[in-house]
Structure 1
């Protein structure tokens, strides 16, 4: 009985998170929490000289919660820092609709030698 309850509890914990698939071709040393990471939405341009390091897709499992645009970007920033990327670029965005209450995103990760805080970028809406 305990095992069944544990499995059910684990299912609900895992199924409430967005489905995230990522792939990194180039790995740089991990960034610290103090290192800046820029968020570039669709209209923002990736600076010349930035090197693409990987990609990610954020989807919906059907039971997903906490999958708003900013929540997904925060998760993407964590993946970027772990893999040494300092730019998170949104290349495709599907807003919540009848079929899903989540933002579905395609992200590219970049490493840029310049000052990312000077880039025109999306500002997170912290609530």
Structure 2
């Protein structure tokens, strides 16, 4: 029994976060930590002249524990920076319910030539 637990433990540890499926149609130069990334929630509008470069879905893996809205956005920001996107736009959001304790969101990644700090955007709540 102990050997079985030890064999399963790595899978349980890996599956504690949200299940993320991403698709990028274009990979741009990665952004640095100094480059700002804007979070646009459902009600925030995209500026004109943006270039869509990808999308991602954040779901529940069945063992997910750290999958709140802000946590998912922080993971999305990492994906955005790796692929050169400076806007993360939430296009679908399902709040936790009886079936899942996780936020399930779909986001799109965009590159914008302008100053993303001037956009009306969602502010992550850091505890």
TM range (shorter): over 0.9
Unmatched segments (≥5 aa) in structure 2: none
Moved >2 Å (runs of 4+): 1-7
Looking at structure 2, the residues matched to 41 and 65 of structure 1 have their Cα atoms a distance apart, in angstroms, of: 22
Aligned match of 1:53: 53
Q: Secondary structure at the match of 1:78?
A: helix
**For the residues of structure 2 that align with 1:110 and 1:52, how far apart are their CA atoms?**
4
Residue of structure 2 equivalent to 1:94: 94
Instruction: Report the TM-score, using the length of structure 2 for normalisation.
Output: 0.95
Distance 1:81 1:3 in 2: 40
Unpaired runs of 5+ residues, structure 1, are: none
**Structure 1 residues 97 and 84: CA distance shift in structure 2, 3 A:** same
The SS at the match of 1:54 is: strand
TM score, norm. by length of structure 1: 0.95
Give the RMSD, CA atoms, in angstroms: 1.4
* Superposed displacement of residue 7, structure 1: 2.8
